[in-house]
Structure 1
């Protein structure tokens, strides 16, 4: 008599970037189990390819890690030529559409003049792909230490919503919205 035991093994998948560690359960199971699992809320339901899923997450994580490393050229590669940036929950105003080159230049100058170090942790990605467009919703926590140590630190937390488009064989962000939920420390502005 056969038992209905499904063997499972843990596979850890690393995506390059901050907070990019995710864990997936890979099950050895019967065809019926595979069909059942394909109907749940996994990537299969959304017709995601695993490569696209990882590429979207790597693109989003790349913005954070390369900004922290001050590798502005690689950070820039995550964006289309023109991008809508929405930081209204933190600073008010309206979203702005500017070139990615302008945004990278602004970040590079601001970081160099303000912070000794930063660490942007991004995780809990929820990816939705439809054809050549994608959305990635993720949590973040950003730690900032000031050049002027008398200001202490600034920790900001919330979530990002990135809209992406497929550009050849890679994904790039054309909209980045940051929603502030809480912070500690001294704001730089």
Structure 2
């Protein structure tokens, strides 16, 4: 599942133009995942939607299966944004922290793997929570100067709390 390339930058260091281009791509690729997390945390529809292609897929089924959840595969930016933001609106407070990101760029496509710690607390009772450590596997495509998520698969390494209280 994880990107395990030996180097952070794949182009020769002597090719300054190529290095700068790849570093910019890597920053934009990571920014897509940051927009995904922060858009949820701020409940900001525009920021959250900006992370995805129109035909994006979000697969939370592997993570949910760890505690018996059975969410559908979410297909389409509008479906993803509406489903997640509606599920959390006025009910769940979230924070997402991204660690250990690894990126592999191949022309106008890229793959990103990362660990994301996601804290979910019921707004009315922060004693009801789910803290999840999730490996993310993300496929992205170039969209002009930025990168957007085309497919995202979220698994779960561990959790504490009660995910069913948060996700149903």
The two structures share one fold, judged by TM-score above 0.5: yes
State the alpha-carbon separation in 1 of the partners of residues 147 and 47 from structure 2. 14
Q: Of the candidates 30, 33, 45, which is equivalent to residue 60 of structure 1?
A: 33
TM-score, normalising length: structure 1: 0.72
Counterpart in the other structure of 2:136: 160
Counterpart in the other structure of 1:41: 7
Q: Judging by fraction of residues, say which structure has more strand.
A: 1
Larger radius of gyration: 1
Counterpart in the other structure of 2:122: 146
Q: Is the 8 A contact 1:145 1:154 kept in 2?
A: yes
1:104 aligns with 2:81: yes
SS in 2 for 1:137: strand
C-alpha displacement of 1:84: 1.5
Q: Of the candidates 53, 75, 80, which is equivalent to residue 53 of structure 2?
A: 80
Alpha-carbon RMSD = 2.1
Between the two proteins, the alignment pairs up a number of residues equal to: 149
1:178 aligns with 2:151: no
Counterpart in the other structure of 2:15: none
SS in 1 for 2:43: coil
TM-score, normalising length: structure 2: 0.80
SS in 1 for 2:120: strand
State the alpha-carbon separation in 2 of the partners of residues 79 and 65 from structure 1. 13
Tell me: CA distance 1:168–1:119, structure 2 relative to 1, closer, same or farther (3 Å): same
Identify the structure with bigger relative contact order (alpha carbons < 8 Å, sequence gap 6+). Answer: 2
Q: Which runs of 5+ in 2 are unaligned?
A: 1-5, 13-17
